[in-house]
Amino acid sequence: METQSPNTENNSFLEKDLPKKRNYLAVGEVFTYFFTKRPHINFNVRMMHGINKLSIIMFLAALIFWIIKRLA
């Protein structure tokens, strides 16, 4: 039976957890959502995607505005 020091176990835990935290900062999916053409089933689905794109743009604009306001 091997005994590991607590530091070794803690480091392996942190190494396992790092890739998950990096995924939160990946914005590739947001950009592909804007530029990917999908076959739309009907008018309602097309409007849903349009409203989603508009809401993402408004959220990002408000976030940028808030950050600029806080820094100034």
- How would you write 12-59 as a 3-class SS string? HHHHHHHHHHHHHCCCHHHHHHHHCCCCCCCHHHHHHHHHHHHHHHHH
- What digits encode the pLDDT tens for the residues 12-22? 555 566 666 66
Higher pLDDT, 34 or 3: 34
Residue 31 in tokens: 């950009």
- What digits encode the pLDDT tens for the residues 33-52? 777 777 768 899 889 888 99
Q: What is the pTM of this model?
A: 0.55
Closest CA to 37 of 25, 28, 46: 46
User: Which amino acid, residue 50?
Assistant: G
